[in-house]
Amino acid sequence: MKAIVRPTAALQGEINALSSKNYTTRYMLVGALADGTSTIRFPAHSEDSDAMRRCIRDLGADLIEEGDTMTIRGFGRHPKPVRELNVGNAGAVLRFLMSVAAFCPEVTFVNAYPDSLGKRPHDDLIAALGQMNVSIDHNNGKLPITIRGGHPKGGRIQVSGNVSSQFLSSLLFMTPLLDEDSEIEVLHDLKSKVVVGQTLEVIRQAGIRLESSDDLMHYRIPGRQRYEAKEYVVQGDYPGSAAILAAAAVTRSDVRVLRLEEASKQGERAVIDVLRAMNVPLTHENGIVHVRGDGKLKAVEFDGDHFTDAVLAMVAAAVFAEGTSRFYNVENLRYKECDRITDYLNELRKAGADVEERQSEIIVHGKPEGVEGGVEIDAHFDHRVIMALTVVGLRSKRGLTIRDAHHVAKSYPQYFDHLRSIGAQVELADQ
Ligand SMILES: O=C(O)C1=C[C@@H](OP(=O)(O)O)[C@@H](O)[C@H](O)C1
Ligand SMILES: C=C(OP(=O)(O)O)C(=O)O
């Protein structure tokens, strides 16, 4: 599918935010790791959340969905001895389940997206599991990966955090189920630290006890614990909504996005502060973000690691700001669905934006007069590139055509419908 994005001056209306991807994957996982039946209200529906549904079913969980409610009867620490799992293109699902797979005799994670997830590194988690009596075959740290487990052991575990927080999250989910107590030490830096807060929140909601240091670099996890079956409610998703808010920010708009909790632990909640710093007129009350954009934006400087999945949308807004914006500490964007620095900036340049990259920075020389557009954009298998480039297309002079736009369904299948419902001129066509 390709998306033909036409210049759109004004947006108006109300959108119910999609359900959070990160909470949906986490609640499904702790539901599967529990022995009884858990309930999840408003789980997300997307390729990534479907990957988690599929894999925990394959591992022996019973899932029933009726309307907006999912019930899961978990397998506890005894997953079915499945031989093969397909996580699609979902990084978090792969990394979380690599540790769960250590309870099985032999599981192979197949390489379904050689040009996207197939290029992402998992060495740090492979090394950590290697310290736990788990033997792993892999392709230079990449998929396909075969986990030979059966009897994983706790104890002292070291894991590097400077590529992805998902490796640490993965170990935090699994170690409470081990016979031994564990101590986890995070080596180097911990990227996307805020997301680990979501992991700890969910694990604790599921009745697990563990101690974490204030800097989130050290953990003590008693073994022999059991996840409790609980009821969970999934909140609205900030990373996906960030693109809608960016679209409202770069146009004349009167747009309300519902279900965005002010007190959320999602790091991407910071987009409210970023947009405010850009001088975007907005309010945030009772879970509703209300943007009344006038299209005038001011350049900003931010540490992007606090809102990793919304950096691309904020960069798209900065393309139209007065002055030069800088998003720093974002090197790990290079290890996501594509290289979200080099690949994304190449597409932005095609659209007419003036952008520069450093190893861990994105610099944007804003063009309040708009960009030329009139070109075809490559999606690089990346939903966030697609969403962000759509924002740029709306304020371009000649529009943009985004090839392979169906990959938006990785996290936000209804993105274009939502945008069109508030007046965006977007046509979807076969390629
Ligand atoms: O734990 C999670 O659910 C996620 C962690 C983040 O990844 P990194 O820790 O690799 O930055 C984020 O980008 C991803 O979308 C989801
Ligand atoms: C990086 C992302 O996801 P994952 O790492 O789970 O593939 C994302 O959703 O932007």
Give 345 Cα–ligand 2 centroid separation in angstroms: 18
Determine the Cα–Cα distance for residues 63 and 114; give it in Å rounded to an integer.
29
Nearest atom within ligand 2 for CA of residue 308: 10
Residue 313: per-residue pLDDT: 99
Residue 150: per-residue pLDDT: 86
Q: What is the pLDDT of residues 179-228, one digit of tens each?
A: 999 999 999 999 999 999 999 999 999 999 999 999 999 999 999 999 99
ipTM: 0.99
pLDDT band at 229 (very low <50, low <70, confident <90, very high): very high
Confirm or reject: Cβ of 92 under 6 Å from ligand 2.
yes
% of the chain exceeding 90 in pLDDT = 99
% of the chain exceeding 70 in pLDDT = 100
Hey, whose CA ends up nearest to atom 3 of ligand 1?
22
The whole-number average pLDDT for the span 264-291 is 98
- The chain-wide mean pLDDT, for the chain, equals 98
Give 196 Cα–ligand 1 centroid separation in angstroms: 9
Q: What is the pLDDT of residues 19-72, one digit of tens each?
A: 999 999 999 999 999 999 999 999 999 999 999 999 999 999 999 999 999 999
Structural domains present in the chain: 2-18+236-429 (3.65.10.10), 21-224 (3.65.10.10)
pLDDT band at 310 (very low <50, low <70, confident <90, very high): very high
**164 annotated to bind ligand:** yes
Nearest atom within ligand 1 for CA of residue 25: 3
Q: What is the pLDDT of residues 311-335, one digit of tens each?
A: 999 999 999 999 999 999 999 999 9
Residue 409: per-residue pLDDT: 98
Confirm or reject: Cβ of 411 under 6 Å from ligand 2.
yes
pLDDT band at 284 (very low <50, low <70, confident <90, very high): very high
Hey, whose CA ends up nearest to atom 10 of ligand 2?
309
